[in-house]
Structures are given as structure tokens and as C-alpha cells.
Amino acid sequence: MKSKLVLLLGALLLFLPDVFAKKNKQDKETFQWRYEIEPTVGQAKQGACIVKVWTYAKKMDQAVAQAQKNAVHGIIFKGYAPSTDGTRMPGQKPLVTDYETELEHAAYFEDFFKDGGRYMRFVSLVNNGTPGAGDLIKVGKEYKVGVVVVVLKDELRKELETAGIIRSLGSGF
């Protein structure tokens, strides 16, 4: 009986570091922020926007999962340029214009963007995150995956105002 317990504890100790390594790898992928964001054709409800996020990852399912975080991060910190393909989709300025804000509020954003974090309230996948034709590109040893998402930018702005990250539009100069 004692040897079975020792064997079981030994097995747990062998696999425990692997569990933490996977979690740390996911976090590392999140905070590298390797993506591109662009407007896409589609009518979003008032206060929302539809964007295509091109995410780089070693596995396609990782890219799809990361796309939602990248879309919200893009609306907050990058914004996107107007379309150049003749569709006349307007651009969007970032909600946060000062790069230092992300560093100053690092603890907030680390919690906000953790797996299953608050960012999930402001984003949803279109077509269940299934990339369309031409939206899965092999680039070296990884994939560049285009995923269309809807971001509730007005609600996201309110969240950031409430958290003291940005000033409200009515606060003046």
C-alpha cells in the first residue's frame, strides 16, 4: 500500500511541471500580442464593431482561442486603419492612446486578459471562430489564422472608464 502511494505521488510530481508549463506557455502567447487587425464587411449593432484578427500561433486551435483576446487588445491599444479594398469600411482609433497606460495598469490587464477573464464579456466569434477560405496560411513553422469577431467597443470603453484606465468622454479636457 505504501509503495502504491509513493508511486502515485511520484507520478504526480512528474506531470505537475508539465501542467504549469502549458499554462505559462499560454500566458506567454497571450502577452506577446502577435496579431494584425482589420475592419471587415458586415453590419454590427450600435456600439460594436466587426473585425478580422490575424493571429500567429503554432497550432490553429491556439490561434482561434487567442483571436478573441487579440481583438479586444486591438480595440483598446491599436485600433485599425480603414479598409483599402474598396469596401469603404471606416477605421477605428484605439481607446487608449498612451502606450504607457498598458504598463502602468499591467496587473489590471493581466487579470483582464487571463483565460476566461473579463475580456470575454466584450467579444464573440462569428461562425464559431471557423476561419474562412483563405484565412489559414502556413508561415514557416506556424500558422497565420484570420478569425472574424464582434467587439462591443462602447461597453469595453465603459469598463475601462470605470476601472480608471481612461477618462470618460464627458469629462472634458
Average pLDDT over residues 137-158: 94
pLDDT for 19 equals 42
The answer, yes or no, to whether residue 67 has pLDDT greater than 90, is yes
pTM above the 0.85 mark?
no
Burial label, 80 (beta-carbon count in 10 A; 0-12, 13-18, 19+): buried
pLDDT at residue 80 in the model: 92
Question: Per-residue pLDDT averaged across 40-69, rounded?
Answer: 89
Tens of pLDDT along 81-120? 888 776 778 888 999 988 899 999 999 999 999 999 999 9
**What span, in angstroms and rounded, lies between the C-alpha atoms of 109 and 165?**
10
